[in-house]
Structure 1
Amino acid sequence: MKRIAVYCGSASPADTVYIETARMVGRTLAERGIGVVYGGGKLGLMGAVADAALDAGGEVIGVIPQLLVNAEVAHRGLTELHVVETMHERKAHFTELADGFLTLPGGTGTMDELWEAMSWAQLGYHADPVGLLNTAGFYDGLIEFVRHMGKVGFLRPQHQGILLIDSELDGLLDKMAKFEPTVPIVKMTREQL
């Protein structure tokens, strides 16, 4: 993987484990020679990932809607900053620029990005790994929900391995590097559907 899209919150929670993890992710990706593609913001976990990657000499590409540039939350010290009009364009740019997706803790925007990366993999719009870093058990409930979708039958058996999960970054990056794409819905037979 040459570049990973990192999805995470623009907030700074009181528990410093989240900011510390974001910094560690940015630094680790840079040290491994993996570029960061992210939402282009300077606040919260987003800013922490970007600053740590830049401080470690890494490439950091931000993709941010004009509305957020107008709100003065854009990070101006990045390797590249792509300004787009809509959130839809932003997510499409993530997919074009990155070879994988890594989700850290965040809120509704982060969930939107994660679900779209998973959905697009399931449909066949990309064949890149989708990772979830479960920092301090933040995603325990979501992980159980994804398992529940599979048990009930809303997530096909072929797609239950799309979301790669680990509580440690090294383990997650190893899983992402070994990821084998599944058969997307658009290539499944009627019997498989």
Structure 2
Amino acid sequence: MTTTPAPRPLKSLCVYCGSSVGRDTVYADAARSLARVMVERGIRLVFGGGSVGIMGAVADEVLRLGGEAVGVIPQALMRKELAHAGLTEMHVTPSMHARKTLMAELSDAFVALPGGIGTFEELFEVWTWGQLGFHDKPCAILNVGGYYDRLVEFLDHASAEEFVRPVHRGMLIVESDPELLLERFSAYQPPAQPKWVKSDEI
């Protein structure tokens, strides 16, 4: 008889998000809402280390409420992304690759808030790592104000066209409410059989 493994406790959440606040205040408001839920549950923030945009909003709220915020930023972006000076911890890395690797190591789960190309790239890379079995941590989108509606529609299309297997499409959690998102994290079970890269798929 096989038993389902218990979910790993969620102690640190990696939040991918923009260095811009976007056009609508709903995006920063949602970042602060997520921060409040995280602090209530004792979940540490791991993020890109910037003090501006959605990054700054989520970090500022976590710190204001007495939570822990850990930044990871490449040396080259210390000035461009205006590194946050008031964090619990700040890690400065030599490259973007090192940044993403350390953020993944420090985190128990990953979520993308509204952001731009960098946010998309971070989400897709860590989701791919999970698909390949390099980690068994949940990945998600917090779909604020319908920002990711068309992306979710496209991912469903890619699955229907048999370029993304349903089991791997199902690995990416999509929620608009932070409370529900964290509840789904707590119930997450990775696929029993990860997809290993085959020579004909490269």
User: 1:167 is matched with which residue: 176, 186, 191?
Assistant: 176
Q: State the partner residue of 2:3.
A: none
User: 1:42 is matched with which residue: 51, 67, 70?
Assistant: 51
Name structure 2 gaps, 5 residues minimum. Answer: 1-9
Name structure 1 gaps, 5 residues minimum. Answer: none
Corresponding letter in the other structure for 2:195:
I
The farther-off stretch of 38-47 and 154-163 is 154-163
Q: CA deviation at 1:7?
A: 0.6
Q: CA deviation at 1:44?
A: 0.4
Over the aligned positions, Cα root-mean-square deviation in angstroms equals 1.6
CA distance in 1, matches of 2:81, 2:177: 33
CA distance in 1, matches of 2:70, 2:169: 30
CA distance in 2, matches of 1:145, 1:40: 30
Q: State the partner residue of 1:61.
A: 70
Indicate if the aligned counterparts of 1:6 and 1:104 stay in contact, CA closer than 8 A: yes
TM-score when scaled to structure 2?
Answer: 0.90
Q: CA deviation at 1:23?
A: 1.2
Q: State the partner residue of 1:89.
A: 98
Consecutive aligned runs of 4 or more in structure 1 exceeding 2 Å deviation: none
CA distance in 2, matches of 1:110, 1:139: 12
Q: CA deviation at 1:72?
A: 6.3
CA distance in 1, matches of 2:140, 2:130: 12
The farther-off stretch of 67-76 and 143-152 is 67-76
Total equivalences in the alignment: 189
% identical aligned pairs? 48
| Deviation string, structure 1 residues 54-104 (Cα, Å, up to 9, x no partner) | 111111100000011143610010000000011111110111000000111
